[in-house]
Amino acid sequence: MKLKSIILSSSLLFAACGSMQAQSTQVIAHRGFWKTAGSAQNSIAALVKADSIGCYGSEFDVWLTADNQLVVSHDATFKGVNMQKSTAAQCTAVKLDNGKQLPTLQQHLEKAKQLNTRLILELKEHKTPEQETCAVEGILKMAKDMGLKDRMEYITFSRHATKEFIRLVPAGTPVYYLEGDLTPQELKEWGCTGADYHFSVFKKHPEWIKECHDLGLKVNAWTVNDSKDMKWLISQGIDFIPPTNR
Ligand code: MG
């Protein structure tokens, strides 16, 4: 389902639900808005297109390369190039499906400076904690130097990177953990902004949505494409939904 149709559906659902809580549900473009002409997953075009349709935020994935540079890509190995084992020059030589070169984080953020959407940065799990700490430090320095620190939100499956973001981000910067294996109380104790879990986790633990809100935590359920699941999550007052653009 295309994101535009999801947003349209969501608007209709908001009107139908009619509650203030349901109206607060926001759409995040997962890997940008890419299932559309001229776009590609994690491309700069996907960021621009997500911004153009008024998404709350545009999500993208970041790796630290072998020469300690930051590049935007989802897969550990993309089109035969392993992001962690290759230099930035090797990674950015890869062509995305829209014919553009794989972007560096610097290039992604340079374009973002001209836009308004929030920047939902996922740091991928790396082979060592040292790599993740180096990535976190580099990301936060770049966001600060580029004047974007107030538009950034950080997400990761890595427990180490989650703790490093929480330790190092400017006060008030959202940090979410993705794995789905911490309770709302544990997330609160860690200092997370909220739960950013696969929607099946909330199907299994529907009480976690209210528990999060009662603790002052936000709730984000990722890659929801089925309208039935989406309606259920919105009816539960979920804060963010990132569809997968299918
Ligand atoms: Mg991601």
Q: 145-156: per-residue pLDDT in tens?
A: 999 999 999 999
d(CA 61, ligand 1 centre) in Å? 5
CA 31 – CA 37 distance, rounded (Å): 15
d(CA 200, ligand 1 centre) in Å? 17
- % of the chain at pLDDT higher than 90: 84
d(CA 120, ligand 1 centre) in Å? 9
d(CA 16, ligand 1 centre) in Å? 30
d(CA 195, ligand 1 centre) in Å? 15
- The answer for residues whose C-beta is within 8 angstroms of residue 97's C-beta and 6 or more apart is 40, 41
pLDDT tens track for 100-118 = 999 999 999 999 999 999 9
Q: Which two tokens stand for residue 213?
A: 């809100």
d(CA 33, ligand 1 centre) in Å? 13
Instruction: Please report which confidence band the pLDDT of residue 7 belongs to, taking 50, 70 and 90 as the band edges.
Output: very low
pLDDT of residue 205: 97
CA 217 – CA 85 distance, rounded (Å): 37
Q: Is the pLDDT of residue 140 over 60?
A: yes
- 220-227 mean pLDDT: 88
What are the beta bridge partners of residue 27? Answer: 241
Identity of the amino acid at 13: L
Query: Would you list the DSSP string of 59-116?
Result: EEEEEE-TTS-EEE-SSSEETTEETTTS-HHHHHTSBPTTSPBPPBHHHHHHHHTT--
d(CA 76, ligand 1 centre) in Å? 12
- 175-196 mean pLDDT: 97
What are the beta bridge partners of residue 95? Answer: 101
